[in-house]
Amino acid sequence: MIAQLDKLYADFTAKLSTLSTQSDVLNLKSEYMGKKGPLTEVLKGLKDATPDERQKIGPKANEIKQNIGSDIQAKLDGLEVAEINAKLALDPIDTTITDNVLVNDPKHGGLHPITAIQQEVEDIFLSMGFDILDGPHVEDEFHNFEALNIPADHPARDMQDTFWFHGPEVESGKKALLRTHTSTIQIRGMMSRKPPFKFIAPGKVFRCERTDASHEMVFHQLEGMMVGKDVSVANLIYFMKTLLREIFKTDVEVRLRPGFFPFVEPGFELDIRCLICKGEGCSVCKQTGWVELLPCGMVHPNVLRAGGINSDEYNGFAFGLGLDRLVMMRYGIDDIRHIHGADLRFMRQFGAY
C-alpha cells in the first residue's frame, strides 16, 4: 500500500505539472481530495492491512494528503502571479513616473469659492462650540413658514417668493415647496435637541425672484441658532463680530438696524460697509454704501414653542448669513451671476478647474 500511495502522488504531480489554468487545477483538486478520489480508494484497503502496516500507512496517507493540498495552493498562486504579469505586460502602469499629465497639469480640480467660504465659516463656528446641521431642500409649509410664525395669508410670505410643487404632497400632507431660507432648520434643530444648544446649518435656498447684480434664484445661506438660559443681544453681536473679523481678517465696519422677520423679536439687519466700492456707492450696494449681509435677532417665543422649547425658561438668537454676498465682499466680485456662471476664466481665479 505504501508503494500504491507513492505512485498516486507521483501521478498527481505529473498531472499537475501539465496544467496551465486555475480552473483545471481546481478540477484536479476535487478529483484527488474528493470523497471518491484515488486517495480514499487506496485507504479503503486499510481494513485488510496488519496493525503494523496500518501504523505506517496512516501517517503516509496524511503526508500525501497535505502535500497534494500545498502543491495545489502553490500552483494556484503561481498561476495568479503569471496572470497579473501578463496583464501588466499588456497595459503597463508605472507608478514611479512623475512627469505625466496628472502630476504636472495645473488644471486639476479645486473648491468652488462658495464651498471654500462655507467650510471656512463652518470651521469658525465649530471652534466656538457650534454643531453643524443639514436639512432637506424640498420642504413643507410648516417648516418653511408656519412654525416660523408666518401663518397662511400672512403678508410676510410675500417677502420670499416661493417655488411651489404642483405634484404629490410631502409626508405631512402639506403642500411641498423649495425652501426659501435655511431657517427651516431652526425648527428641525430645536425639535431634535434639548437646550442649551448652538448650531449652524448651511445650504442652498431657492426663490422665484428676478436676478440682478446681487440677487440670484438659487443661492446659499448659513443659518445659526443658539438657545439657552439668558441668551442676550450682546451674545449675538459677539458671535457675529467674531465671524466677520475671522472672515475678513480685519475689523469690518458694521451697522445694526431694525429689521422685520416674523420669527425674531427684536429683529435686526446687520450690514457691512460695501467692500466693492468702499462705501462710495455701486450696483452691488445699490448706491447706498452698505450691503445687507446678516439678518438676525432674538428668537420669537412662538418659534421656540413650535420647536418644542419652553419659552418661559429659555430664549435664544438666530441669524441667516448670505454666503454668496459674503464671497462677493471677500473677493470684490461686482455681480453675483459670475459666481454661478460656468465661465472657467472666472473660476480659475479661485483655483477651481
Q: Please, what is the minimum distance in Å from the beta carbon of residue 325 to ligand FA5? A: 4
Q: What would the grid cell of residue 25 be?
A: 487545477
Least Å distance, CB 80 to ligand FA5, is 58
Return the sign of the alpha-carbon dihedral for residues 235, 226, 144, 138: positive
Q: How far is CA 167 from the centre of its chain?
A: 29
Q: How far is the CB of 159 from ligand FA5 (least distance, A)?
A: 6
The C-alpha cell of 200 is what?
Answer: 449652524
Closer residue to ligand FA5 in complex, CB, 293/306: 293
Grid cell locating 22: 486555475
In the complex with ligand FA5, which residue's Cβ is closer, 42 or 272? Answer: 272
The β-bridge relationship of strands 138-140 and 254-258 is: unpaired
Least Å distance between CB 318 and ligand FA5?
Answer: 4
Question: Which amino acid would we find at residue 224?
Answer: G
Q: Is the dihedral of CA 324, 326, 329, 330 positive or negative?
A: negative
Encoded amino acid at 107, one letter: K
Report the residue number whose CB is nearest to ligand FA5.
322
Minimum Å gap between C-beta 83 and ligand FA5 is 58
Residues that bind ligand FA5 (CB under 6 A): 160, 181, 183, 207, 209, 215-216, 219, 221, 261, 264, 267, 292-293, 295-297, 318-320, 322, 324-325, 336
Per-residue 3-state assignment (H helix, E strand, C coil) for 80-117: HHHHHHHHHHHCCCCCCCCCCHHHHCCCCCCCCHHHHH
Per DSSP, helices labelled H in the chain are 2-18, 22-33, 38-44, 51-90, 101-104, 113-127, 141-144, 184-191, 233-248, 301-306, 323-331, 336-340, 344-347
- The smaller minimum CB distance to ligand FA5, of residues 16 and 162, is found at 162
Rounded CA separation 275/326 (Å): 10
Q: Which one-letter DSSP state was computed for residue 158?
A: G
Q: With respect to ligand FA5, which residue has the nearer C-beta, 42 or 240? A: 240
Q: Choose between 105 and 158: whose C-beta lies nearer to ligand FA5.
A: 158
Nearer to ligand FA5, 9 or 197 (CB): 197
Which residue number, 43 or 256, has a Cβ lying nearer to ligand FA5? 256
From the list 115, 129, 144, 8, the residue with the least C-alpha distance to 63 is 8
Cβ closest to ligand FA5, residue 83 vs residue 161? 161
The smaller minimum CB distance to ligand FA5, of residues 7 and 137, is found at: 137
CB of 267 to ligand FA5, least distance (A): 6
CB of 223 to ligand FA5, least distance (A): 6
Give the separation between CA 328 and CA 274, rounded to whole angstroms: 10
Biggest distance spanned by C-alpha atoms of the chain = 113
Per DSSP, the three-state class of 20 is coil
Smallest gap, in angstroms, from Cβ of residue 109 to ligand FA5?
25
Q: Which of 85, 63, 77 minimizes the C-alpha distance to 8?
A: 63
The distance of closest approach from Cβ of residue 351 to ligand FA5 in the complex, given in angstroms and rounded to an integer, is 23
